Every structure is written in structure tokens, then in C-alpha cells.
């Protein structure tokens, strides 16, 4: 029993943190702090100086995320320079108030604006800002600057030691862990499908099934991003295609489960189908390296045969049996490619290429007025308001409010996103105050115990930072309460001031986002939706050329670009779909998001099935692709000016589905997906009240009440 609980816990951990990436980063932060403290304490440095070294090691582990080791090393060097300027400026400001407030507000502009330069900009901006904040927290002075800079260098060096020697990123092991996480998430989809079917279907299990599908999709993207570093460019392309097939099979299993659930099934058939799903779940092992043993078992072979057989008279549940067999086969093919077995993939003897370099990206302009610049200006105004409000609450600790402003603007581009992050930050701080007070009582002035709990908080803060702002705020607040205890300045009133300053900072950030050149969530959603539709248009053009045999392009990569555009839209729409939003816009946000996710799913299906010249000479291809393209162009124009929707129409075809007349199964599959894509594009029309016209009928309008 204990072994089963342990295995279940490992499964859950692998599923929640694919590749143990967050675990490695969190462990690197804690180990870097330990190395820095081990160097500085024997040197007889004061506690303040030692803490600066520890904070530098923590921030370097937390923020430096360049894709290559060389890039990470360069960012660490630049972080050393930026951190030196930050510590010097903070120490000067501490000695010459109110210069500290002026510098801090200017610094928040630089830190937020730097996000436009990608991971390196985010890292340097964050390191600069947080070192300034902690220097104010510790009350450093100009006389301490030489020692502070030495501690900074030790902290950066400690992180470099851990990052490159003690806990380096190993792509091969990371890929294997991600594949294990994939298996855990795949097993979750199957288990959830079984629960959905056995329970007759309900809203709770339907939401669980949707969430399981989404988490599997995230894992597939991680496999694709990591594979090229391990198995080479060409092999990664093969794996990408097979991974898409697995994802499509999983989503088809979910759809088929929901369809089967509403059928009139005899109790014994429902029981048999649930048992079949659970047996399939039992075959989804945690360790992918055991795959050949699993796939060669009699149970696995029987499942494939039973699911693939065609009866003269279809029986209830046959569709679900076939879906299970298709998923099993797709999974085996994908895992064999991941294990570098290309015998089925290569039609002719062709060497597998070694890992290549990614294409050069378009350079970011240094000066430009866009959403990132607008956010930086809003952060400056919010920072100024936070300084004024924070001074009224506590002239000694006003910088807490400025910290909250920076955090709510970090990665936010709309007023709605700023509001949601501010609410999460405040909620985490409230809970963290109780955590900090309880922790301080537990340690009771015991320094080793206090340091141990601080390290636990650092680990928790870094581990959850990418998944929960509320949990991160909890660990930060608890850690700061312990730091006050370590410095001998802990009191309950200090934690009360912390809460008040956080509330002031959140309010200042929201006011600045709403009043200063605001970006409404709906406007940002339209921009991101336009990017999705533009990506869909490009995918459609290239896929048409591939299917017609006029060009040979990698449409799978284009489908992944479309996936990433949908991911950006999902993040933008979150304030509309968040539970804190009680207005009718919440349904509107879900409607748009569900529509684009359905289109991305169909694009993935087309990409996985498309072969050069597959539909050569098929008139249905050009008719269907041409109409979809015109409808997409219409929607792109409407995203520029939603008020012009009444002046446009979307064209809807009549007659039998496009895949019915194709002579081959592969052709029918692709044409059917194009038809579904056509339906998905038309489904976006009601979101903007766009008239829809049948190709051989007068125009009609689809009316749908919505709130804008």
C-alpha cells in the first residue's frame, strides 16, 4: 500500500512538473544560497552583507532563463554589472532620502520596459529591481558598497557553480522526465474518461476531462521543445508528427467518451467499456524505457485487434473501442521514435541529422511605443502613487508598496490582468502574514531553525512562481517575516504594515492601469485574435499548397506557431474568464477562446495527416480552402474595427460534407478536418454579430446576445 501511495505521488509530481524543470530551478536557488552563505560566513561578514550574497544567488537562479548555457553565462555577467549599479544606487538613496524614492520609481520603468527584450531583459530588470528593494529592506549604506559588491559577486558565482557544474540542465534526462510526465498525464486522461463514463457524465468530470486534455497538450509542447536538443532536427520532426497524432487520438478519445456516455448502453456494456479503459490505463507505464515489453504483451495486442475489428452490424461502444485502439497505436509509434527507433518512419535510408540551430529571430527595436512601453509608463505612475501612499502608512517601509506595483505589472499588458494579479498578490499576502507569524513563533529566535525555514520558503517561492501568484506571495511574505525575525526586528505590527503596503501597491497599480493610457482586455484580445487568425491564414495557404502538390513545406511547425498564438490569447483572455469576473463578459471570453482552440485542434489534425500531393486534382480542396481563407480575411478585418461587422458577411457552404466524395480514407480525413475548420471559423461570427450567408441563399444574420 505504501509503495502504491509513493508511486501515485511520483506520478502526480511528474504530471505537475514535466521534466522536473521547476524542481531543478528551486533546488538550484536553495543550493546557490547555501554555497554563497558558506563562503561569506567564514569570512566574518556581517549578516546584512551575507544576506545580499544569498539574495543575489536566489535571484540569479530565479530569473536567468536563457535557452543556451552561453546565453545564461552572458546574462549572469550582465546581471553582475546591473546588480552593482542597483546596490550602489540603493545605498546612495538610503543615505540621501528622498532620493531613494525617485530612483526606485525610475528603476521600475527600466525594469518593466526591459521585458520587451525577452528572457534576458526580464532577468536583468528583475535582478536590478529586487536587489534595490532588498538593499532598502536591509538598510545598506555607501560605506558598505565595496563589501556589498563582493557579496554580489559571490552570489552570482555561487549560482554559476550550481547552474553549470552541480545541477546542470541535462536535455536527455529532461526529455525522459517529460516523457514520464506525458505518461502520467495520458493516464490521467484515460482514468478521467473512465470516471466520466461510469458516472454517466456530469459537469465536474467534464471539467476534469477538459483540464486533463489541456495539461497533456502542454506536455506535448514541452517534448517538442526539448527533443531537438537530444535526438536531432530530423528525428525531432518525426517525433513532432507522432506527438500530434497522440494528442489528436487523446482528444478523440475524450470526444468519443462524451458521445458514448449519452448513448443508450446496457449496464453490462458500460461496465465492459469502463473496465477496458481501466485496463488500458494499467498499461500506461511510468517509465517509457519499458515500452517494448508493454507493447508486446498479449493484453496490448488483444486491445488493438478488438478495437480495430469491423463488425457487419456495429455494436454500442464500438466507436470508443476504436478510439482506445487508435490511441494505443499512436502512443506506441510516438514512443518508438523517442527511443530512436526510426525503422517505421524512414521510407528510404536517410541519415538522422544532428541538432541544429533555431532560425534567427527578428531583432526587437530598442525604442518603440507599444503595449510594453505603455505598461512601463503605467508602472511609473503606479510607483509614484505607491510611494505617496506608502509614506502615509509607514515612512520606513513604503518600498513594500512599490514592490507590489512592480510585481503586478511584471508580465501584465492589460488593466484586467493587472487587477487579477493585484488581487492574487493581496490574497497571498494575507495568508502569508499568518504563515510568517506562525513560523516566527515556531522558531522562537532559534537561528538555525529560522534559516532552515527561510530556505524552505525560498524553495516554495521559486517552485510555484510559474503556476500560482497567490502561493508565491504567501511564501514571499512568510520568508520576509522570518528575515525580520533573523534580523531581530520582528513584530506583529510589521506584518500589519506589510499587508497595508501591499494593498496600497495593488490599488496604485490598478489605478494606473485603468487611468493612464489604459489597454482594455477586449482590445488586447482582439489584437491577439488577429495574430491567431493571421497564423491560421498562413497555415491554410501553405497546407493547401502542400496538399495540392505545388510546394513542400513544414505545416506541422506552422500548426505549432498557431498553438503558441492561441496560448498568448488564452493568457490575455484570462481576466475575462477568471472567477473574479462576474459579468457576462466571462461567457463571451470563454466563447472566443473555445472557438480558437477548436480551430487550432483541426489545424493540428490537418498537419498530422497532410502529405505532398494528397489532394492533387481535387476541386473540393480549392473550393473549401478558398472559402475558409475569405472568411478568415473577413474576420481579420473585423478585429481591426468590430463596428464594421454589419458590412461584412461570412460564406457558408451547403450540400454534403466535403469528405464524403473523396475516394481514399486519407483524403476523406483531411477534407473532413478542413470542413470542421470551416465550421469553426463560421462559429466565431456570432462573437461579432457577423452576418452569415449560404452560398446559394440570401444573407441571414446570426444573432447572439453578448456583452462587450
Among 458, 448, 632, 469, residue whose Cα is nearest residue 539: 632
Residue 433, SS3 per DSSP: helix
Q: What is the rounded average pLDDT for all residues in the chain?
A: 80
Task: Name the DSSP class of 162.
Answer: I
Among 620, 609, 606, residue whose Cα is nearest residue 653: 620
Higher local confidence (pLDDT), 516 or 143: 143
Asked whether residue 643 is domain-assigned, the answer is yes
564 and 450: one domain?
A: no
196 and 285: one domain?
A: yes
| Cell numbers for 120 | 534576458
253 and 313: one domain?
A: yes
Q: Taking a C-beta distance cutoff of 8 angstroms, is the pair 628, 616 a contact?
A: no
* The pLDDT of residue 438: 83
Check whether 34 has a pLDDT greater than 90: yes
Mean pLDDT is lowest, of 42-51, 66-75, 370-379, 562-571, for 370-379
142 and 175: one domain?
A: no
Choose the final residue of a domain: 140, 169, 198: 169
436 and 403: one domain?
A: yes
Q: Which residues of 566-586 are buried (b: 16+ CB within 10 A; e: fewer)?
A: bbebbebbbbbbbeebeeebb
* The pLDDT of residue 227: 77
Among 503, 518, 493, residue whose Cα is nearest residue 436: 493
Higher local confidence (pLDDT), 384 or 336: 384
548 and 513: one domain?
A: no
Q: What is the pLDDT of residues 250-278, one digit of tens each?
A: 888 888 888 888 887 888 888 888 888 88
Which run of H or E residues covers position 681? helix 665-683
The sign of the dihedral angle between the CA atoms of 41, 43, 45, 51 is: negative
Asked whether residue 15 is domain-assigned, the answer is no
165 and 215: one domain?
A: no
Q: At a CB cut-off of 8 Å and minimum separation 6, what does 675 contact?
A: 624, 657, 658, 659
109 and 196: one domain?
A: no
Mean pLDDT is lowest, of 90-94, 465-469, 557-561, 590-594, for 465-469
Asked whether residue 34 is domain-assigned, the answer is yes
CA 510 and chain centroid, separation = 24
Asked whether residue 526 is domain-assigned, the answer is yes
Among 380, 471, 323, residue whose Cα is nearest residue 102: 380
284 and 160: one domain?
A: no
Q: What is the pLDDT of residues 528-562, one digit of tens each?
A: 899 999 999 999 999 999 888 888 887 888 888 89
479 and 533: one domain?
A: no
* The pLDDT of residue 4: 58
Higher local confidence (pLDDT), 204 or 682: 682
48 and 118: one domain?
A: yes
Asked whether residue 348 is domain-assigned, the answer is no
Q: Taking a C-beta distance cutoff of 8 angstroms, is the pair 105, 133 a contact?
A: no
* The pLDDT of residue 3: 63
Choose the final residue of a domain: 518, 537, 569: 518
Whether residue 649 has a cis bond before it, omega within 30° of 0: no
Residue 618, SS3 per DSSP: coil
Asked whether residue 344 is domain-assigned, the answer is no
Alpha carbon dihedral 88, 94, 95, 97, in 10-degree steps, equals 120
CA 595 and chain centroid, separation = 19
Check whether 195 has a pLDDT greater than 70: yes
* The pLDDT of residue 702: 33
% of the chain at pLDDT higher than 90: 18
Rounded (5°) CA angle 75-80-84:
145
Instruction: Report the first-to-last Cα separation within the chain, whole angstroms.
Output: 54
Higher local confidence (pLDDT), 140 or 698: 140
Q: What is the pLDDT of residues 203-240, one digit of tens each?
A: 788 888 888 877 887 787 777 777 777 777 777 777 87
Name beta bridge partners: 652.
694
- Tally Cβ neighbours within 10 Å of residue 69: 12
Q: What is the CA radius of gyration of the chain?
A: 28
Asked whether residue 334 is domain-assigned, the answer is yes
Q: What is the pLDDT of residues 111-126, one digit of tens each?
A: 888 888 888 998 999 9
Q: Residue 656: pLDDT band by 50, 70, 90 thresholds?
A: low
Mean pLDDT is lowest, of 333-337, 500-504, 628-632, for 333-337
Rounded (5°) CA angle 403-407-413:
135
Among 642, 405, 663, 388, residue whose Cα is nearest residue 529: 642
Among 524, 591, 597, 606, residue whose Cα is nearest residue 563: 597
Among 323, 302, 212, 310, residue whose Cα is nearest residue 257: 323
Residue 692, SS3 per DSSP: strand
Choose the final residue of a domain: 145, 169, 193: 169
Higher local confidence (pLDDT), 706 or 559: 559
Higher local confidence (pLDDT), 705 or 670: 670
Q: Give 473-511 as a DSSP string.
A: HHHHHHHHHHHHHHHT---HHHHHHHHHHHHHHHHHHHH
Q: Give 293-330 as a DSSP string.
A: HHHTSHHHHHHHHHHH---SS--TTHHHHHHHHHHHHH
Q: Which residues of 332-342 are buried (b: 16+ CB within 10 A; e: fewer)?
A: bbbbbbbeeeb
Rounded Cα distance, 571 and 525, in Å: 9
**Looking at the 3D structure of the chain, how many domains does it have?**
4
* The pLDDT of residue 17: 76
The interaxial angle of helices 492-515 and 371-393, nearest 10 deg, is 140
Has this prediction a pTM greater than 0.75? yes
Residue 642 burial (10 A CB sphere; 0-12, 13-18, 19+): middle
Asked whether residue 466 is domain-assigned, the answer is yes
Rounded Cα distance, 553 and 551, in Å: 6
Q: How far is CA 347 from CA 338, 344, 351, 667, in A?
A: 18, 7, 12, 20
548 and 635: one domain?
A: yes
Highest mean pLDDT among 84-93, 171-180, 404-413: 84-93
Mean pLDDT is lowest, of 5-9, 202-206, 261-265, 428-432, for 5-9
Q: Residue 701: pLDDT band by 50, 70, 90 thresholds?
A: very low
Q: Which range of residues forms the domain containing residue 265? A: 171-338
Mean pLDDT is lowest, of 42-46, 263-267, 584-588, 609-613, for 584-588
Amino acid at each position: 500500500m505504501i509503495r502504491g501511495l509513493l508511486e501515485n505521488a511520483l506520478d502526480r509530481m511528474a504530471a505537475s512538473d514535466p521534466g522536473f524543470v521547476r524542481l531543478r530551478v528551486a533546488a538550484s536557488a536553495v543550493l546557490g544560497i547555501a554555497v554563497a552563505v558558506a563562503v561569506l560566513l567564514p569570512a566574518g561578514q556581517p549578516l546584512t552583507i551575507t544576506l545580499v550574497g544569498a539574495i543575489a544567488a536566489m535571484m540569479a537562479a530565479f530569473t536567468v532563463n536563457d535557452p543556451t548555457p552561453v546565453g545564461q553565462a552572458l546574462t549572469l555577467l550582465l546581471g553582475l554589472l546591473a546588480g552593482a549599479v542597483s546596490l550602489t544606487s540603493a545605498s546612495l538613496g538610503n543615505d540621501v532620502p528622498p532620493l531613494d524614492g525617485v530612483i526606485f520609481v525610475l528603476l521600475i520603468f527600466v525594469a518593466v520596459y526591459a521585458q520587451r527584450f525577452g528572457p534576458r531583459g526580464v532577468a536583468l530588470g528583475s535582478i536590478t529591481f529586487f536587489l534595490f528593494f532588498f538593499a532598502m529592506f536591509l538598510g545598506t549604506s555607501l560605506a558598505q558598497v565595496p563589501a556589498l559588491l563582493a557579496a554580489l559577486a559571490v552570489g552570482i558565482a555561487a549560482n554559476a557553480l550550481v547552474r553549470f557544474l552541480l545541477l546542470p540542465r541535462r536535455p536527455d534526462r529532461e526529455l525522459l522526465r517529460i516523457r514520464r510526465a506525458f505518461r502520467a498525464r495520458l493516464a490521467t486522461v484515460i482514468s478521467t474518461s473512465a470516471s466520466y463514463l461510469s458516472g454517466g457524465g456530469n459537469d465536474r468530470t467534464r471539467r476534469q476531462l477538459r483540464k486533463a486534455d489541456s495539461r497533456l497538450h502542454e506536455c506535448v509542447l514541452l517534448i517538442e521543445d526539448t527533443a531537438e536538443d537530444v535526438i536531432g532536427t530530423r528525428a525531432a520532426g518525426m517525433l513532432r508528427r507522432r506527438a500530434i497524432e497522440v494528442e489528436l487520438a487523446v482528444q478523440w478519445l475524450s470526444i468519443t467518451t462524451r458521445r458514448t456516455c449519452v448513448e443508450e448502453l446496457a449496464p453490462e456494456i458500460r461496465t465492459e467499456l469502463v473496465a477496458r479503459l481501466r485496463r488500458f490505463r494499467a498499461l500506461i507505464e511510468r517509465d517509457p524505457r519499458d515500452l517494448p515489453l508493454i507493447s508486446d504483451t498479449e493484453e496490448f495486442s488483444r486491445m488493438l485487434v478488438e478495437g480495430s475489428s469491423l463488425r457487419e452490424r456495429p455494436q454500442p461502444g464500438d466507436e470508443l473501442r476504436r478510439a482506445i485502439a487508435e490511441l494505443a497505436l499512436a502512443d506506441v509509434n510516438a514512443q518508438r521514435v523517442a527511443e530512436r527507433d526510426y525503422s517505421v518512419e524512414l521510407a528510404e535510408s536517410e541519415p538522422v541529422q544532428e541538432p541544429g540551430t533555431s532560425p534567427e529571430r527578428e531583432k526587437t527595436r530598442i525604442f518603440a511605443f507599444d503595449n510594453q512601453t505603455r505598461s512601463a509608463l503605467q508602472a511609473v505612475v503606479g510607483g509614484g502613487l505607491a510611494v505617496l501612499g506608502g509614506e502615509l502608512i509607514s515612512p520606513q517601509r513604503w518600498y513594500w508598496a512599490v514592490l507590489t506595483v512592480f510585481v503586478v505589472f511584471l508580465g501584465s499588458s492589460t488593466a484586467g490582468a493587472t487587477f487579477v494579479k493585484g488581487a492574487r498578490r493581496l490574497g497571498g499576502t494575507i495568508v502569508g502574514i499568518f504563515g510568517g507569524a506562525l513560523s516566527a513563533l515556531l522558531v522562537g529566535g532559534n537561528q538555525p531553525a529560522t534559516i532552515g525555514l527561510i530556505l524552505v520558503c525560498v524553495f516554495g517561492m521559486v517552485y510555484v512562481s510559474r503556476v500560482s501568484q497567490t502561493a508565491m506571495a504567501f511564501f514571499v511574505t512568510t520568508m520576509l517575516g522570518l528575515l525580520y525575525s533573523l534580523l531581530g526586528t520582528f513584530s506583529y505590527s510589521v506584518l500589519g504594515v506589510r499587508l497595508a503596503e501591499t494593498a496600497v501597491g495593488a490599488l496604485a497599480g490598478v489605478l494606473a492601469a485603468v487611468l493612464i493610457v489604459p489597454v482594455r482586455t477586449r482590445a488586447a484580445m482582439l489584437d491577439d485574435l488577429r495574430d491567431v487568425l493571421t497564423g491560421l491564414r498562413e497555415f491554410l495557404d501553405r497546407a493547401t499548397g502542400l496538399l495540392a502538390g505545388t510546394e513542400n513545406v513544414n505545416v506541422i511547425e506552422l500548426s505549432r506557431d498557431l498553438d503558441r498564438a492561441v496560448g498568448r490569447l488564452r493568457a490575455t483572455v484570462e481576466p475575462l474568464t477568471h472567477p473574479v469576473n462576474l459579468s457576462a463578459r466571462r461567457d463571451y471570453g470563454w466563447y472566443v477562446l473555445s472557438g480558437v482552440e477548436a480551430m487550432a485542434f483541426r489545424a493540428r489534425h490537418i498537419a498530422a495527416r497532410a502529405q505532398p500531393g494528397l489532394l492533387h486534382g481535387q476541386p473540393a480542396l480549392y473550393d473549401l480552402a478558398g472559402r475558409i481563407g475569405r472568411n478568415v480575411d473577413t474576420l481579420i478585418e473585423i478585429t481591426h474595427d468590430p463596428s464594421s461587422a454589419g458590412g461584412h458577411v461570412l460564406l457558408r457552404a451547403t450540400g454534403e460534407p466535403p469528405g464524403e466524395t473523396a475516394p481514399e480514407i486519407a483524403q476523406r480525413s483531411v477534407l473532413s478536418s478542413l470542413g470542421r475548420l470551416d465550421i469553426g471559423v463560421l462559429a466565431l461570427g456570432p462573437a461579432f454579430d457577423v452576418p452569415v450567408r449560404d452560398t446559394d441563399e440570401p444573407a441571414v444574420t446570426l444573432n447572439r446576445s453578448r456583452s462587450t
